[in-house]
Structure 1
């Protein structure tokens, strides 16, 4: 079996994850991807989506990643993102309220509603609910 790769997830505020991974699955702006150890060097533009990390001990974890970039080089992976949330840090009730607010704005758009902003808020709320298994 190949040596696990090093994975680091960085936001402007903190290093959210630092450890080893035997496989991870994310979503690029042009579709889903999976990375195994010893992958060829590349840079991937990330979409707002869950990121599943398979760890050497056989466990998996899923994080909410809000865009950014993934760089793979020499069995080291760095993900730089504006925000990344662990399910344990997500306020589920707040995410539900945000989802309801965004859906309300989108179902009855008025001239003062920024539709793109409401759609983005809905996507963020749905991602949070997905990784907390509340959706």
Structure 2
């Protein structure tokens, strides 16, 4: 398969920077699949599972938070608040965050606090989903 260059950057680190043969990014319109020579596009990334495959490697998963993706000139830039490999996710901590966010949603606070709790809940549930789908393959 043909390759393209991918830069996956989280707020606190470079998650992956290198060649890729396929990339799937969660967007508000569903999953966006990207292969070499994809047409230019800019899209919003939603919390979900990002999948990428480097040449001669198995597909890798990551739990990503909101951000954006830009495809141009056979190069892809993914900017997200956070990106975590399944083995980096602490399931107990994610469950606590989900429980706290649910409690905050039930307390009927201000609209801003409600929206923050919704975002926290979405990220925590996504982290749990990615962790549970991880079978230990490397």
Residue 98 (1) aligns with residue 93 (2)? no
Residue 33 (1) aligns with residue 32 (2)? yes
Match of residue 62 from structure 1: 61
Gaps of 5+ in 2: none
- Structure 1 residue 129: deviation in Å? 0.7
Match of residue 43 from structure 1: 42
> Runs (4+) of structure 1 moved beyond 4 Å?
none
- Structure 1 residue 84: deviation in Å? 1.4
Q: TM-score, normalised by structure 2?
A: 0.84
Cα RMSD after superposing both structures: 2.1
* Secondary structure class of the residue paired with 2:37: coil
Distance (whole Å) between structure 2 residues aligned to residue 118 and residue 62 of structure 1: 25
| Count, aligned residues | 133
Distance (whole Å) between structure 2 residues aligned to residue 111 and residue 14 of structure 1: 33
- Structure 1 residue 128: deviation in Å? 0.8
Change (3 A) 1:101 1:35: same
Distance (whole Å) between structure 1 residues aligned to residue 53 and residue 16 of structure 2: 13
Q: Deviations over 1:41-96 (max 9, x none)?
A: 22222112110112322401111111111111221111112221222222211001
Gaps of 5+ in 1: none
Distance (whole Å) between structure 2 residues aligned to residue 14 and residue 112 of structure 1: 33
Change (3 A) 1:52 1:126: same
Q: TM-score, normalised by structure 1?
A: 0.85
